[in-house]
Amino acid sequence: EVYNPNGKYRVVSTKPMPGTRWINLLVDQGCRVEICHLKKTILSVEDIIDLIGNRCDGVIGQLTEDWGETLFSALSKAGGKAFSNMAVGYNNVDVEAANKYGIAVGNTPGVLTETTAELAASLSLAAARRIVEADGFMRGGLYEGWLPHLFVGNLLKGQTVGVIGAGRIGSAYARMMVEGFKMNLIYFDLYQSTRLEKFVTAYGQFLKANGEQPVTWKRASSMEEVLREADLISLHPVLDKTTYHLVNKERLAMMKKEAILVNCSRGPVIDEVALVNHLRENPMFRVGLDVFEEEPFMKPGLADMKNAIVVPHIASASKWTREGMATLAALNVVGRIKGYPIWSDPNR
């Protein structure tokens, strides 16, 4: 699919993306826009080399693609100046290799903060109240009438939510859980989130002034402290060498037997084999997963676990956000082509 065939700059998108704003923006800025419609979900390095061709000024790519040395070298040979991931995460991008070839890299933070936090909150609630299990029970024709012990779950109010990685998304999630469900907060991050702490303090004071039990916050000195103390834990770190298998067998064992673990960050942050064993041995422990160690696959056994809710990496999948991500990715690429610093640079 090609827009503005005579445009001065050639910009390739490896996938069709939602909305038309991003296309219009590129066309308005004099770009020829080429959208790849190959009928396969994950493009190989070879597929992308073909797309880049002999001349390409910039590419908008996806988190499923391996943007390393080979692709950046091909893009640079084709005269490329910019690459943007349509994602906030860029663990699929070798930024150093890009910089070596003089290619600027962009990502799409901000527009997905609330949407992603809302999915983490949805998974938290769905796991706490066993919604998916109960839905299957209804559809299976198993409901014979109300019973005192039917699908009894956890009340979040007054429990402690643990957040690991209190950046943009982790902080938005923490606020939702504290304000929406009156949970106490414990978090672990290398940086101190003073805005989050001020918010929880002020909200606690508000509750107290209204005769309610105030919420509390605590900045943990280690991740283990969060794992031991929280009733519901949501993971929001970036994936790098230091966070690979952050949640492993030993750390799972530290968590409360009835805890809930949510992951909307990146799959490899959890050792998924260890998780499956833990779910099997601890039927009251529950998880809500949006991401998997080796997408699109799940480790054997995970799909059979009643105490796991699994969804296919949809945390940023709201219309507004996905259109925003596409627009931001386009802005990154065209800005750089026109000689400006990239709009959203993960190095900053």
* Euclidean distance between CA atoms 241 and 326, whole angstroms: 28
Catalytic residue among 266, 278, 322, 336: 266
Helix axes 69-77, 45-52, angle to 10 degrees: 10
Considering only residues 259 through 318, tell me which ones interact with ligand DGY, judged by CB under 6 A: 316
- Tell me if residue 294 falls in helix, strand or coil: strand
Helix axes 194-209, 168-181, angle to 10 degrees: 10
- Contact between 237 and ligand DGY per CB under 6 A: no
- Which of 71, 95, 112, 172 touches ligand DGY by CB under 6 A? 112
- Which of 51, 71, 88, 95 touches ligand DGY by CB under 6 A? 88
- Which of 60, 87, 93, 223 touches ligand DGY by CB under 6 A? 87
| 87 or 302: CB nearest ligand DGY | 87
Give catalytic status of residue 130 as yes or no.
no
| 226 or 264: CB nearest ligand DGY | 264
Interface with ligand DGY (CB under 6 A), residue total 6
Cα torsion angle, 98, 100, 102, 108, sign: positive
CA distances from 7 to 2, 10, 31, 141 (A): 10, 7, 5, 59
Cα torsion angle, 198, 201, 207, 210, sign: negative
* Euclidean distance between CA atoms 175 and 144, whole angstroms: 39
Considering only residues 216 through 235, tell me which ones interact with ligand DGY, judged by CB under 6 A: none
Catalytic residue among 32, 130, 278, 313: 313
- Contact between 89 and ligand DGY per CB under 6 A: yes
Stretch that binds ligand DGY, among 6-14, 81-89, 135-143, 153-161 (CB under 6 A): 81-89
Count, in order, helices (H) and strands (E) of the chain.
12, 13
Stretch that binds ligand DGY, among 34-42, 70-78, 84-92, 228-236 (CB under 6 A): 84-92
Q: Minimum Å distance from CB 291 to ligand DGY?
A: 7
Active site residues: 266, 295, 313
